[in-house]
């Protein structure tokens, strides 16, 4: 299979600047050549005249299952802990089919808004009674053609042991470690252009035991796996850690082996100077989730300061019950604007935002040699954007920045992942959108009914 993208008006490579009037030739799943007036005979030809071409975005934090509990009235105005308590009561009724279809929903939305690689943080297994949940989302990603790096999430500290979640949604440390090992053995593919890799992700200091955090980091160390968790999201979490462990969240995790360059944390808002310096020194990554942080009133992460220290920072939409969309391009706009609220208008530029959305994520996932920019020899993960829309009139003096500053649809015209066209003329290729909408609405209605919402 080969693809020739011809007559690209503006190509933002991210790694090597911006090119004008250029072609890209793709063979199988790899970018073979970038140049003027290429004359290959390709299986698929795409005319990108008047279009912007970008490397696919990399979303480093999400909870796909939450797409079925967006916007629940009881949690619309709550801060994190209260918001979680409302949602745990509903999530304990999730079934296998919900996981699969909410996965399809989230991945579809991510794909349409420019993402070509995503992680997911699935930490609910409802007491271990339900099987095959992470497998269900891997199937969903395969069906749609997304490059996927799910994390085997977990919770082991329930209310009766001083944690936040109810007993019904946690598992024992042994169950978690055994299942993690099985999933890693089955799916973790270390080949360069793998479509599925696995990392391990105990949920947070207030829902996981210290024992599990430590065992997870040791296991990951032994098997060279990445580790992920929520950290320093709220002041409540900070108070919880100081009260229960006598330490701030960051040092609590550090003592459990969680400060190294295979670790990345979602949010990372409430960190002091020492903690940020220590993270920078040790190569810890950050998933910045501006919409969720605003939505839950959690605070403003110190992203410009982290970028100054050359930390690995990426942008992520977070779960769809606290965003409540998976609009990735929209999230990039939020990242630009939120930084400016705290630090002023020159603190965050569109180039910073594109860097975080692509190479930032690739560095966190230790995948920067293969994805994150448009270069010969890298994976063919490419999106094409059409700015011929009312909302871009007058913004075309800088077509790349226009995607962040202007626009309302936030939707790709084409997406190519691993050399396959997965969005064609604005439509998902591997699923019927109408059928997904019907099924997703039905299943989420049923979930709420079971949960008595
Ligand atoms: Zn999250």
Q: What is the DSSP string of 206-261?
A: TTS-HHHHHHHHHHHHHHT--EEEEES--HHHHHHHHHHHSS-HHHHHHHTT--ST
Q: What percent of the chain clears pLDDT 90, i.e. is strictly above it?
A: 97
More confident call, 137 vs 130 = 137
Write out the two tokens for 216: 């997870």
Dihedral, CA of residue 310, residue 213, residue 198 and residue 103, to nearest 10: -100
Distance 287 CA to ligand 1 centre (A): 9
pLDDT (average), residues 234-257: 96
Task: State the pTM of this model.
Answer: 0.98
Report pLDDT for 168: 86
Interval between CA 409 and ligand 1 midpoint (Å): 25
What mean pLDDT comes out for the span 350-358?
98
Tell the residue number behind the tokens 């605070």, with chain if given. Answer: 299
Residue 10 pLDDT: 98
pLDDT of res. 182: 95
Q: What is the 400 CA–ligand 1 centroid distance (Å)? A: 29
| pLDDT given for residue 125 in this prediction | 86
Output phi, psi for 28, to 5 deg: 55, -115
What's the 271 CA to ligand 1 centre distance in angstroms? 17
**Average pLDDT rounded to a whole number, residues 410-414:** 97
CA of 127 to the centre of ligand 1 (A): 20
For residue 307, CA distances in Å to 277, 282, 290, 353, 355 come to 12, 15, 15, 11, 10
Instruction: Give me the pLDDT at residue 106, please.
Output: 98
What token pair was written down for 261? 């360059």
Evaluate whether 233 touches 80 at the Cβ level (below 8 Å): yes
**CA of 266 relative to ligand 1 center, distance in Å:** 6
CATH class, 57-364 region: alpha beta
Q: At residue 131, does pLDDT exceed 80?
A: no
pLDDT in tens, 154-197: 999 999 999 999 988 899 999 999 999 999 999 999 999 999 99
Please, which pLDDT band fits residue 53 given cuts at 50, 70 and 90?
A: very high
| Mean pLDDT, residues 90-95 taken together | 94
Calculate how far, in angstroms, residue 298's C-alpha sits from the geometric centre of ligand 1.
12
Span 114-125, pLDDT tens digits: 999 999 999 998
- The end-to-end CA distance of the chain, in Å, is 49
Model pLDDT, residue 76: 96
Q: Give the residue carrying structure tokens 């299942």.
A: 179
Give the Å distance between the CA of 272 and the centre of ligand 1. 21
7 alpha-carbon distance from chain centroid: 31
Q: What is the pLDDT of residue 310?
A: 97
Q: In the predicted model, what is the mean pLDDT of residues 387-399? A: 97
Least confident stretch, 155-169, 246-260, 391-405, 418-432: 155-169
Centroid of ligand 1 to alpha carbon of 222 (angstroms): 26
- 14-45: per-residue pLDDT in tens? 999 999 999 999 999 999 999 999 999 999 99
Give residue limits of the domains in the chain: 2-56+378-428, 57-364
Secondary structure of residue 275 in the 3-state scheme: helix
Instruction: Find the 123 Cα to ligand 1 centroid distance in Å.
Output: 10
Alpha helix positions (H), 22-119: 80-91, 96-112
32 backbone dihedrals φ, ψ, rounded to 5°: -95, -40
141 C-alpha vs ligand 1 centroid, how far in Å? Answer: 19
Of 196, 125, 197, the residue nearest 155 (C-alpha): 125
How does residue 127 score in pLDDT terms, banded at 50, 70 and 90?
Answer: low
The CATH number of the structural domain formed by 2-56+378-428 is 2.30.40.10
Q: Which residue has the higher pLDDT, 110 or 409?
A: 110
Q: State the Cα torsion 397-402-408-412 to the nearest 10°.
A: 110
Residue 130: band (very low, low, confident or very high) from pLDDT cuts 50, 70, 90: low
Phi first, then psi: give them for residue 253, nearest 5 degrees.
-65, -40
Cα separations (Å) of 267 from 124, 254, 357, 397?
Answer: 20, 16, 15, 34
CA 318 / ligand 1 centre spacing (Å): 5
Dist. CA 67 → ligand 1 center (Å): 13
């Amino acid at each position: 299979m080969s693809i020739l993208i011809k007559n690209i008006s503006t190509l933002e490579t991210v790694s090597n600047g911006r090119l004008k009037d250029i072609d890209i030739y793709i063979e199988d799943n790899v970018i073979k050549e970038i140049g003027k007036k290429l004359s290959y005979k390709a299986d698929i030809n795409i005319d990108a005249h008047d279009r912007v071409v970008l490397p696919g975005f990399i979303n480093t934090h999400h909870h796909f299952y939450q797409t079925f509990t967006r916007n629940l009235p009881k949690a619309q105005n709550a801060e994190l802990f209260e918001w979680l308590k409302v949602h745990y009561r509903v999530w304990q009724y999730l079934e296998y089919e919900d996981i699969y279809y909410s996965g399809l929903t989230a991945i579809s939305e991510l794909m349409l808004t420019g993402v070509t690689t995503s992680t997911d943080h699935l930490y609910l297994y409802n007491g271990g009674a339900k099987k095959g949940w992470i497998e269900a989302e891997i199937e969903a990603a395969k069906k749609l053609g997304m490059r996927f790096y799910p994390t085997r999430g977990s919770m082991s500290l329930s209310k009766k042991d001083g944690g936040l979640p109810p007993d019904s949604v946690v598992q024992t440390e042994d169950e978690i470690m055994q299942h993690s090992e099985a999933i890693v053995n089955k799916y973790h593919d270390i080949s360069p252009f793998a479509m599925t890799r696995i990392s391990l992700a105990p949920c947070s200091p207030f829902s996981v035991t210290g024992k599990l955090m430590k065992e997870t980091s040791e296991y990951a160390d032994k098997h060279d796996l990445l580790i992920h968790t929520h950290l320093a999201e709220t002041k409540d979490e900070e108070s919880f850690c100081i009260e229960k462990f006598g330490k701030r969240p960051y040092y609590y995790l550090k003592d459990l082996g969680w400060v190294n360059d295979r670790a990345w944390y979602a949010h990372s808002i409430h960190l002091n100077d020492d903690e940020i310096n220590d993270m920078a020194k040790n190569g810890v990554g950050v998933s910045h989730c501006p919409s969720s942080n605003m939505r839950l009133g959690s605070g403003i992460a110190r992203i410009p300061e982290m970028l100054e220290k050359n930390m690995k920072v990426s942008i992520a939409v977070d779960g769809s019950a606290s965003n409540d969309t998976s609009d990735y391009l929209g999230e990039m706009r939020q990242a630009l604007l939120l930084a400016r609220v705290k630090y002023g208008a020159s603190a965050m530029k569109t180039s910073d935002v594109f860097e975080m959305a692509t190479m930032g994520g690739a560095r966190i996932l230790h995948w920067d040699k293969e994805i994150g920019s448009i270069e010969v020899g890298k994976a063919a993960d490419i999106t094409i954007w059409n700015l011929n829309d009312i909302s871009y009139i007058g913004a075309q003096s800088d077509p790349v920045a226009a995607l962040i500053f202007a626009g309302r649809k936030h939707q790709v015209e084409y997406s190519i992942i691993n050399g396959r066209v997965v969005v064609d003329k604005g439509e998902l290729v591997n699923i019927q959108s109408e059928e997904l909408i019907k099924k997703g609405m039905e299943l989420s209605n049923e979930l709420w009914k079971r949960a008595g919402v």
